[in-house]
């Protein structure tokens, strides 16, 4: 069963730090989350943190820097491509519009559709992840990954089509409402079950399932 206090405590880790939240940093961190263990994603985020609101290093230098992390991970050229696609659009003022007033599910979905179309290498999952990192207590989108897929009985190694992604997200809305939590942001609600699927009853307790290193307020 959903535990609101545990879910909130877990998502508050994404608000660690005292800086103004950086959407650019959130987008970059989310781009590196594709096919990535949470722990590796956190380490990559810390590597990118010094460049939170500035252009990235030269591609070869940044690639070498990221590949210096030796824990379990998967870093592909597609990850790097997405980082520079984000930068190109951001610093040309195409995707740098504020999102803080986008509070409804429909508003956030429209924003996601736009960014998926604009940013090469960013998917429904990674754009949703960016918003969850940026506004963890108000995000209505779900970064559906292998843990969500396993929970709902899908093949965890296969990506969903757009229609199946949106259908599964709609099913999650129904599940939240049926459990009696229609006013809980969908991102917060589903993050709890993501943690439970990944780490069992220890999720968001005693250092398990920590998202702190992904924070876009810590740079």
Q: Is residue 106 within a helix (H) or strand (E), and if so which, with residue range?
A: helix 105-118
Q: Is residue 6 within a helix (H) or strand (E), and if so which, with residue range?
A: helix 4-12
Residue 27, CB half-sphere, CA atoms under 13 Å: how many?
30
For 12-56, give the DSSP string: HGGG-SSSPP-HHHHHHHHHTTTT--HHHHHHHHHHHGGGTTSPP
User: Is there a domain that residue 172 lies in?
Assistant: yes
pLDDT tens digit string along 136-170?
A: 999 999 999 999 999 999 999 999 999 999 999 99
Q: Is 129 a residue whose pLDDT tops 80? A: yes
**Token representation of residue 41:** 């994603």
User: Is there a domain that residue 219 lies in?
Assistant: no
**Percent of the chain, pLDDT > 70?**
100
| 100/136 Cα distance (integer angstroms) | 11
Q: What is the pLDDT of residue 174?
A: 98
User: Is there a domain that residue 71 lies in?
Assistant: yes
User: Is there a domain that residue 140 lies in?
Assistant: yes
- Domains contained in the chain, number: 1
Vertex 212: Cα angle to 22 and 148 (nearest 5): 95
User: Is there a domain that residue 18 lies in?
Assistant: yes
User: Is there a domain that residue 153 lies in?
Assistant: yes
| 188/177 Cα distance (integer angstroms) | 13
Model pTM score? 0.96
Q: Widest CA span of the chain, in angstroms?
A: 50
Q: Is 73 a residue whose pLDDT tops 90? A: no
Domain that holds residue 160: 4-214
pLDDT band, residue 183 (cuts 50/70/90): very high
User: Is there a domain that residue 30 lies in?
Assistant: yes
User: Is there a domain that residue 190 lies in?
Assistant: yes
pLDDT tens digit string along 2-61?
A: 999 999 999 999 999 999 999 999 999 999 999 999 999 999 999 999 999 999 999 999
């Amino acid at each position: 069963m959903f535990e609101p206090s545990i879910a909130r405590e877990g998502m508050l880790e994404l608000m660690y730090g005292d800086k103004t939240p950086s959407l650019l940093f959130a987008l970059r961190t989310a781009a590196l989350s594709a096919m990535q263990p949470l722990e590796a994603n956190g380490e990559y985020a810390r590597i990118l943190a010094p460049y939170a609101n500035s252009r990235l290093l030269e591609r070869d230098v940044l690639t070498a820097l990221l590949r210096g992390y030796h824990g379990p991970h998967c870093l592909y050229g597609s990850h790097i491509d997405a980082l520079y696609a984000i930068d190109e659009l951001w610093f040309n003022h195409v995707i740098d519009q504020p999102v803080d007033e986008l509070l409804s599910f429909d508003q956030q979905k429209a924003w996601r559709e736009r960014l998926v179309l604009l940013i090469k290498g960013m998917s429904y999952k990674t754009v949703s992840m960016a918003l969850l990192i940026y506004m963890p207590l108000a995000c209505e989108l779900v970064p559906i990954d292998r843990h969500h897929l396993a929970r709902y009985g899908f093949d965890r190694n296969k990506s969903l089509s757009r229609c199946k992604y949106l259908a599964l997200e709609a099913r999650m809305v129904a599940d939240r409402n049926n459990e009696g939590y229609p006013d809980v942001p969908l991102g917060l609600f589903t993050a709890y079950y993501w943690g439970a699927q990944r780490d069992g009853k220890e999720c968001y307790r005693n250092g398990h399932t920590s998202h702190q290193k992904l924070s876009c307020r810590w740079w």
